[in-house]
Amino acid sequence: METNSRSQASLKLLIVDDSNIIRRRIERSQQIARLEVVGSAGNGREAIDLFRRTQPDVVTMDLTMPEMDGIACVEQLVAINPKVLILVVSALADKATAVEAIEKGANGFLCKPFTDRQLNDALEELLTET
Amino acid sequence: MLKEAEIRTFIDGATNYFETSVQQAASVGSPYLVIDGKPGSYEYTGIINISGARKGVVYFTARRAMLMVLLMRMHETDSSEETIKDLVGEVANTISGNARRDFGKNFLISVPTVIANEPDKVTAPHSRSYVIPINWRTHSAKLVVCLE
Q: What's the whole-number average pLDDT of chain B?
A: 96
Q: What is the pLDDT of residue B36?
A: 86
Residue B52 carries which DSSP code? E
CB A21, CB B87: distance < 8 Å: yes
What is the C-alpha separation between A98 and A104, in angstroms, rounded?
10
Residue A99 in contact with partner chain B when CB distance is under 8 A? no
CB A82, CB A57: distance < 8 Å: no
pTM of the predicted model over 0.80? yes
Beta pairing, strands A85-90 & A108-111: parallel
Region A18-39: mean pLDDT is 93
Contact residues on chain A for B90, CB-CB shorter than 8 A: 19, 21-22
Give yes or no for residue A4 having a pLDDT over 50.
no
What is the C-alpha separation between B75 and A27, in angstroms, rounded?
12
Beta pairing, strands A58-61 & A11-16: parallel
- Judged by CB atoms closer than 8 Å, whether chains meet at A25 and B74 is answered as yes
Give yes or no for residue A25 having a pLDDT over 90.
yes
Helix (H) or strand (E) holding A121: helix A116-129
What is the C-alpha separation between B85 and B121, in angstroms, rounded?
15
- Judged by CB atoms closer than 8 Å, whether chains meet at A25 and B76 is answered as yes
Q: Which residue among A22, A92, A94 places its CB closest to the CB of B90?
A: A22
* Interior/surface letters A14-28, b for 16+ CB within 10 angstroms, e for the rest: bbbbbbbbbbbbbee
pLDDT in tens, B94-108: 999 999 999 999 999
The residue length of chain B stands at: 148
* Model confidence band, residue A2 (pLDDT cutoffs 50, 70, 90): low
* CA angle, residues B146, B1, B34, in degrees to nearest 5: 55
What is the C-alpha separation between B133 and B139, in angstroms, rounded?
11
Q: Which residue among A91, A97, A111 places its CB closest to the CB of B105?
A: A97
The chain A residue lying nearest B16, using CA atoms, is A113
* Model confidence band, residue A7 (pLDDT cutoffs 50, 70, 90): very low
The chain B residue lying nearest A67, using CA atoms, is B111
- Judged by CB atoms closer than 8 Å, whether chains meet at A113 and B94 is answered as yes
pLDDT in tens, B139-148: 999 999 999 8
Q: What is the pLDDT of residue A130?
A: 62
Region B21-29: mean pLDDT is 96
Q: What is the pLDDT of residue B37?
A: 82
pLDDT in tens, B61-73: 999 999 999 999 9
CB A37, CB A3: distance < 8 Å: yes
More confident residue, A68 or B132: B132
Q: What's the whole-number average pLDDT of chain A?
A: 92
- Judged by CB atoms closer than 8 Å, whether chains meet at A114 and B20 is answered as yes
CB B114, CB B47: distance < 8 Å: yes
Give yes or no for residue A1 having a pLDDT over 70.
no
pLDDT in tens, A45-104: 999 999 999 999 999 999 999 989 999 999 999 999 999 999 999 999 999 999 999 999
Q: What is the pLDDT of residue B126?
A: 86
Residue B30 in contact with partner chain A when CB distance is under 8 A? no
Is A15 in a helix, a strand, or coil?
A: strand
